Structure 1
Amino acid sequence: MIVLALHAPSWLSAWIFQAPRAEERPLFNLDLLLGAAIACVSSLGGAIVLVLAWAADGARSAAKNYHFMSTVDFVDAARFADMLNLPALFSRSLLGALAGALVCLWLVLRLTRRSRQLALPLLALAVLAAGCDIANGSFHLFGLDKDKRAVSLNFAGSPAWNVWASERQSLQAAGPGARITNPVTYRALQTWQAEHPGRTSLLVLVESMGLPRDPALRGWLQGRLMTSRLAARWEMQFSEEAFSGSTTFGELRTLCGLHVHYSRLDDELAAGCLPRQQAAQGMSSIGIHGFGLRMFDRSTWWPRVGLRPWNWLEGDAPKSMNCNPAFPGVCDVDVLAQAVKQAQEPRRFVYALTLDTHLPLDLKRLPPLPVDLLKACSASSTPLEACQLTRQLGDLLARLESLLAASAATPFLVVVGDHAPPFSERFNREAFATDRVPLFVLKPR
């Protein structure tokens, strides 16, 4: 009963709720077994270890889900919590999971109270589970860091150890950021700017614009931007780009061709970023975002890469606000309108980062799905939330298409996703490619 109560949260999330990456989580959590053994001797000590163990497991899983490169980076993001509408992030399923974990904690502490004789069997079970994991070839302690599994099941593991080990490896590898082997967006912009000095270019990085696996959904998404009226002025191409990491990694991938955490971006690395290259040619670069630039320290590193942050208080007052339930700010319709407006001027590089398609979705505020998209989703068995996100992405692209069609100038344009949408349910997550995002390149004719 103790073992069942310890592992109920992770087992239920894997088997009932189909949480993504569930196969990476251990069947037996060694941290929890150790905590239960300690609780047999000291309820307070056991409670502390159990809470820390569950927190480490939850933070590690959430970091992977949201494309953070490390658990510590995910935890560090908590310093921006005051900028968010936190109640929108606490869904019923999440609140239920937290309540369930508290019930499990209470049950374990009750079963282990004044039960010193149970400590040894719990430790023995931990040793046995670890032995099975070693035999399976999936044990990561003592330098055994490469899986050679006999079966796909991960018998035992320590999330707390994995967090510590990954952070130690990250610190040891800290240093200059890595140049991406094939930064498609960065190369496309850099090449065009070199061949057309002084011409304006526009980069739009779209939040959570993943690449639908279904060809019909990809075609529907393409059709929102790649229309006949734009084809008369732009030569349009649709392709894909590999991604790794969260939104800030997507920004540095597209702006600088780098795979590096923004905190490690020094002036030497920033010198190769597109805005800095444009500044060397006497051009100005503008960065536009609807959310506060304190988030992820953009107010610090955007100027370092050469971007002049757009100040909404000095320019045109936004007409729409708070279109995302968790991230209050200027809506994407105004961000895109301002980006296209700024791109009408010569000798500019304009960068726009969208916001509204950040998860979670507010399904109550969304209108019914278009008939053609609904048919495509039904034919491909695409879940409702994944289909609704595809619709929102399509609406954003259609809005951009309208703005471009009504504009006078014809800038070079790249529209690309930052990362795949971080759905917490596997069936929604699997509707999109795991390592690639859509890429639109519009070259003036």
Structure 2
Amino acid sequence: MKLAVHFPVFSKIFFLVKRYFSLRLWCFLIFYLIINNVFFWLAHLITYSQRYDIVLEYVWIIPLLCLRKKWSLVLFTITYICIYIFDILYWIKQFYHYDNLSEFVDLLYFIPQAPKLYWLFLGIILGNLILSLFLILKYLVRLASTQMIVPLSVLYLLFAICFYDYRGANLSDRYQTVGWWGSYYETIQNLKFNTQFFWRGTLKPEFYDWPHGGVLQKQINIQHPPKKILFILNESWGTFVPEHGAINSSVKAPLLNLPNVQLIAQGENPALHSTIMGELRELCDLKAKSSNFKLGPFDKFKKCVPVRLQKQGYTVQAFHGSYAKMYDRKDWYPHMDLQDAHFFPQFSNIKQCHSFPGACDYNIVHDVSAANKSAQGKSFIYWLTLNTHHPYSELDMLGANTYDCHQPLFNGRQEACRNLNLQHQFFQVLADEIKRGGFKHTDIVVVGDHSPPIVFDEFKDSFKPDSVPFIHIRVN
């Protein structure tokens, strides 16, 4: 009797489910989620990156597609592009840290000088956006209808109440989002150290004192400095951490094995995330919230090491294998009294290397050595290296690798291994030039600019994230 009473109710429910939650709706939803997420699913397999498997911002704009009006499709397209850009920007932060949108836009200006690998990344990202919108607006929209808006809303509410995955609210290291699904809006609202992610920030950098101090001013007594100083800010020199301290020692061993070299100090120092922040840290003991250094204000640059040494009668020179317009160094270097700066192609050998376009450090070292030898009186030379930049190209290796990247230690750490090989090569090149008498009676301070970025390695924790190594030697 009860079954007879309830049977019509069950029939009605079944009819409503069949009508509003049809196969067409499920096909539409599944294909839509595949289209806007498959790129990141595949990228995860290649780069071992992390991201929500499904980003809910894409789901929230489905009603615009379902309306199928000209204005709604235009609005959908604009909103989809904005969400995609935000998605990409946040995903990239796992590999390259930047503080705000203006800083990222500044990086885009240097794309013409970027490695070909970065061009490939940009092409794939742009191509995926175009393909996704084409598939949605050309084919998938045919499955959409206004009748889907209500059932999709019901599904979302059930999902949010019963199955929501909150893991992404607490972000792990390297700016990863963790969870099957989640909202970037929710994630950013919960990030205590990332509240300014998408703010444009101030136009001027607003320089502040770096609380930890740079290595250079800790190692060189500015009141009574040595007669000749070579300061090297070493691109992507980090501290290798997988329980093999011997590797860190062996990287810089070529310097310490020289009989005419005296070790003054070595260790680690806190560091930020970019090369120009490393320059600011070391040359001036400063930090900044923006990378727009060319805008000033430059009053705090008066305390920078080159300015203070020049007042003491030192000749000051700078060397960097890339272009003068990279990070606008041609504009703000002079305010640090780095007027006599040598950029590409102002070198005796302008052969370009592969890790980052520009002259090869193993050739620039001869120009630096010649400048040091020819300097009359007191001399300060600043050398910002280049060829140990990501992606750590094996094409820049001069000979056999020092570290065998096939040994078990480097399983899942191939980029880290290439970085170590290039770093060891750099120290060997510097040691060879010392043997040739290029840096007699010179204090040499070498420090990393930032921890090496890792993109393709399965394990991203090969180097300490917030500190860099340094070494101070004296050549007799």
Task: Tell me the distance in 2 between the aligned counterparts of 1:71 and 1:178.
Answer: 21
Aligned to 1:38: 64
Task: Tell me the distance in 1 between the aligned counterparts of 2:269 and 2:458.
Answer: 23
Task: Tell me the distance in 2 between the aligned counterparts of 1:289 and 1:160.
Answer: 42
1:207-222 residue pairs with structure 2 within 5 A? 207-213=235-241, 214-222=244-252
Pairing 1:52–2:82 present = yes
Aligned to 1:196: 225
Cα distance, 1:95–1:45 mapped onto 2, change above 3 Å: same
2:370 partner letter: K
Aligned to 1:269: 300
Q: Kindly report the root-mean-square deviation, in angstroms, between the aligned alpha carbons of the 2 structures.
A: 3.7
Aligned to 1:424: 455
Pairing 1:289–2:317 present = no
Gaps of 5+ in 2: 1-29
1:22-421 residue pairs with structure 2 within 5 A? 22=50, 25-41=51-67, 42-84=72-114, 87-91=116-120, 99=127, 102-109=130-137, 110-113=139-142, 114-122=144-152, 136=166, 139=169, 153=179, 155-158=181-184, 162=188, 166=196, 171=201, 176-189=206-219, 191-196=220-225, 199-213=227-241, 214-229=244-259, 232-260=260-288, 261-264=290-293, 265-311=296-342, 317-324=347-354, 327-344=356-373, 345=375, 346-363=377-394, 366=397, 369-370=400-401, 373-374=403-404, 377-379=407-409, 381=411, 383-407=413-437, 409-421=440-452
Aligned to 2:27: none
2:252 partner letter: Q
Task: Tell me the distance in 2 between the aligned counterparts of 1:426 and 1:129.
Answer: 34
**CA deviation profile, 1:291-348 (whole Å, cap 9, x unmatched):** 1111111001111112124346997x422411125x4322112322222332333312
Q: CA deviation at 1:182?
A: 1.6
Report the more deviating stretch, 131-140 or 247-256.
131-140
Q: CA deviation at 1:7?
A: 2.5
**What is the number of equivalent residue pairs in this alignment?**
425
Cα distance, 1:30–1:350 mapped onto 2, change above 3 Å: same
Q: SS at the partner of 1:241?
A: strand
Which structure has the greater CA radius of gyration? Answer: 2
TM-score of the pair, normalised by structure 2: 0.77
Task: Tell me the distance in 2 between the aligned counterparts of 1:388 and 1:47.
Answer: 42
Q: CA deviation at 1:79?
A: 2.1
Report the more deviating stretch, 304-313 or 292-301.
304-313
Task: Tell me the distance in 2 between the aligned counterparts of 1:347 and 1:132.
Answer: 72
Task: Tell me the distance in 1 between the aligned counterparts of 2:354 and 2:301.
Answer: 31
Q: CA deviation at 1:248?
A: 0.7
Task: Tell me the distance in 2 between the aligned counterparts of 1:173 and 1:263.
Answer: 7
TM-score of the pair, normalised by structure 1: 0.81
Q: CA deviation at 1:65?
A: 1.9
Q: SS at the partner of 2:292?
A: helix
Cα distance, 1:4–1:364 mapped onto 2, change above 3 Å: same
Pairing 1:437–2:468 present = yes
| Percent of pairs with identical residues | 21
1:293 partner letter: A
2:422 partner letter: Q
CA contact (8 A) 1:201 1:348 kept: yes
CA contact (8 A) 1:217 1:377 kept: no
Aligned to 2:21: none
Task: Tell me the distance in 1 between the aligned counterparts of 2:406 and 2:250.
Answer: 8
1:349 partner letter: F
Q: CA deviation at 1:254?
A: 1.0
CA contact (8 A) 1:33 1:122 kept: no
Q: CA deviation at 1:61?
A: 2.7
Task: Tell me the distance in 1 between the aligned counterparts of 2:240 and 2:172.
Answer: 31
Q: CA deviation at 1:267?
A: 2.1
